[in-house]
Amino acid sequence: MKTMGKVFVLSTGLLIGGLSSGMTIPQAPISIEHAEAASLVRITKTTLQTTANLRLRAGASTKFKTILTIPKGKVIYATEKKGSYYKVTYTYKFKGKTYQKSGWVSGSYVKEYYQYTKTSGTYYFTNKTASLYSTPDTKKKAVGSLPSGNGLYSTQKVVNSIGKTWYRITYKGKNLYIYSGDVYKSSSKTLSKKDYQISQDTYVYSSYGAAYTKLIKIPKGTVISSVKMVGNWYEVSYKGKKGYVYKSYMPLAPTKITVNPPESTSNGMYYVVLDDLNMRESGEGSSVLAVIPNGSSVKSTGKKLNDWYEVIYNGKTGYVYKSYIKEYKLTDYRFIDLRTQSTVTAKQINDYISKNINGKPSVLVNKGQAFIDAGKKYGVNALYLAAHAIHESGFGTSNISLGKKNLFGYGAYDATPFVGAYRFSTVEQCINYVAQKMKADYLNPNGAHFEGALLGYRTNDSKGKRIASKSIGMNYWYASDPNWGNGIARHMQKILAFEQKNYENVAINTSVPALPGIPAGKDIFPIGIQAKAKKDLSSTIKKGTTFILLEKFNDYNLKVNVNKQDATIKVPFSTYDDYFTVLNLGRVVGTGTDVLKVRPDASTTNKEIATLHLNEYVQLALDSKGNIVMDKDKKWYNIRLSNGKPGWVSKLYIVRELK
């Protein structure tokens, strides 16, 4: 008997490749059903696998001729269904060429094909509340869910029959599956051992997410070390319990004050490092002398070796590759290390402020010493601190600085700058808060916003988006305005003229204080301020509910009264108007004097009955329909004083807040 290669039945009597001539391929039983009467249904492209040698037919029943026979175990793709038949595409090779045939197969001899692949261990974190399933599809009801921000570990990927990718994970002791679109890939990092200080009471969790078991409470102020991070979770051991704490609760612990004089060079050129960067002995392939952290400033010696630049870092001289550095020169205050001390005096700061307030009220008058003291306490350049406050507050004359002693605009969202801004109890508290914040973050090599300990500059494209390769220093993150750093440097120059020699060989204070929390403080509103919910704010404040606004805290908690019961709610103040609107809150502005006169009627004819101060909140009267009460000419507001008595104030000197 003559033998041939491997065979397929292409049509009746035609054999191709691998069986003996005259032999018969075992077939799936021929069905007697007729599907031509069923309606045609388009389906999501589905991967199927044959469970027997299966005839591919020209139509959806046994009445149609056989095109070829598909061997058992082959993968085919279905796009339509008619009765119990699938229209499929089958791809095969014959004599080195690839062929593709389409036709119909009986659904009795196929199963959905899921491709399971082992992967190297990978961490994933949920990007929203994600459902967990017992199989890599949604055919069965979800067996659980996991809130956003929780981590999982996977060693298997599954592409199901409709092409969706799922990951097998272990959650609470069970092997389950999660859809790839509900997670993002993360990583595990090995860290050099450092001490961190817990910023508020929190828990050590059994795994990397707040949905996992709380192992033990860890109090605020606890100093703890870590050498591993998964996603944004530090691995820690505390009182015999090993688990994970969220990154936001673990700023670096304060370190002892140390001062390191910078290495001097002859040409005054510097580079900002753009990534964790190996400094090598003599270029590509040579020994690594040190790893320079991302954002650090290093000094140039001026020497080059092809594409490698010689620099000085931590007392060592070596080479770094040009693609990972940006050059600048110590020519003005934009490029000094802001961790140095200035020779500026309190009198020089005070004199500059006095000359520029032009008779306006200012909270910065005679506050020069506060900047000197804060600079020494936190190791920050006092001249910079003063210039930063002057730049942001208009020499201490802005409404936010006058009304809230907030010199830097912290918390002042565009949607509601005054009400949103943090309220400080004193100017000194504000200056110290910002000095600590800058040193712990923007001027800290391990800070989230460190791009070099200098003001620097920013370059934007035509759409206002930052060009990273052309932006360095604090201006990289702190402000979208490209001239922000320039503006502060100009104030520094006007207070004390720049001299390069004062910043070439001076000590750098490398102490790192703890990152400060939100300062204590709150706004207290007048009695009777009515607000209306635009969406459900709590179990008792549903959409459309009118409630009384009592207090706003710096952390954006709101104390309210609803149905004669006090409650606390929290909304994002950057988009507060998506959540509620206030009907009758006013604030005194632009009087030109310290007080606003309250009249008994809507005119200046009669003597005032009370006075209000600049930036004081005021209750505007409402009619029975909830509308603001004004005079017939719409030039005066009817108000309610703190003693409950009515009065009238000019509309010119009132701005409505949170409307």
How many Å apart are CA 521 and CA 420, to the nearest integer?
Answer: 12
CATH code 1.10.530.10 region(s) in the chain? 346-509
For the domain bounded by 522-582, which CATH number is listed?
2.30.30
- 347 — phi, psi (to 5°)? -65, -40
Q: Which fold has domain 6-112?
A: SH3 type barrels. (2.30.30)
Q: Which fold has domain 259-329?
A: SH3 type barrels. (2.30.30)
User: In 480-631, where do the E strands start and end?
Assistant: 508-509, 522-524, 530-533, 546-553, 557-562, 565-570, 580-582, 585-588, 595-598, 610-613, 617-620
Nearest of 335, 542, 322 to residue 452 by alpha carbon? 335
CATH code 2.30.30.40 region(s) in the chain? 115-186, 188-249, 259-329, 585-656
Residue 656's CB is within 10 A of a number of other CB atoms, namely 15
Class level of CATH domain 188-249? mainly beta
Q: Which fold has domain 115-186?
A: SH3 type barrels. (2.30.30)
**Model pLDDT, residue 11:** 39
Class level of CATH domain 346-509? mainly alpha
Look up the pTM and report it. 0.60
Instruction: Write the CB contacts of 204 (distance below 8 Å, at least 6 apart in sequence).
Output: 214, 215, 216, 217, 218, 236, 238, 241, 242, 243, 244, 245
**Model pLDDT, residue 33:** 45
Q: Which amino acid is at 466?
A: R
**Model pLDDT, residue 89:** 96
**Model pLDDT, residue 268:** 62
How many Å apart are CA 552 and CA 603, to the nearest integer?
Answer: 33
The length of the chain in residues reads: 659
The DSSP H or E segment spanning 59 is none
- CB of 168 within 8 A of CB of 177? yes
Q: Output the six-digit token pair for 221.
A: 């102020």
Superfamily covering domain 585-656:
SH3 Domains (2.30.30.40)
**Model pLDDT, residue 7:** 41
Strand partners, 553: 522
Instruction: Write the CB contacts of 138 (distance below 8 Å, at least 6 apart in sequence).
Output: 131
**Model pLDDT, residue 472:** 85
**Model pLDDT, residue 561:** 97
List, for the chain, all residue ranges whose pLDDT scores fall below the cut of 50.
Answer: 1-26, 29-35, 256-266
Q: Output the six-digit token pair for 406.
A: 């907030």
**pLDDT tens readout for residues 577-617:** 999 999 999 999 976 667 899 999 999 999 999 999 999 99
**Model pLDDT, residue 330:** 81
**Model pLDDT, residue 357:** 94
SS3 88: strand
How many Å apart are CA 88 and CA 112, to the nearest integer?
Answer: 13
How many Å apart are CA 562 and CA 541, to the nearest integer?
Answer: 7
**Model pLDDT, residue 37:** 60
Q: Which amino acid is at 135?
A: T
Strand partners, 124: 152, 185
Helix axes 382-393, 368-378, angle to 10 degrees: 130
Percentage of the chain exceeding pLDDT 70: 91
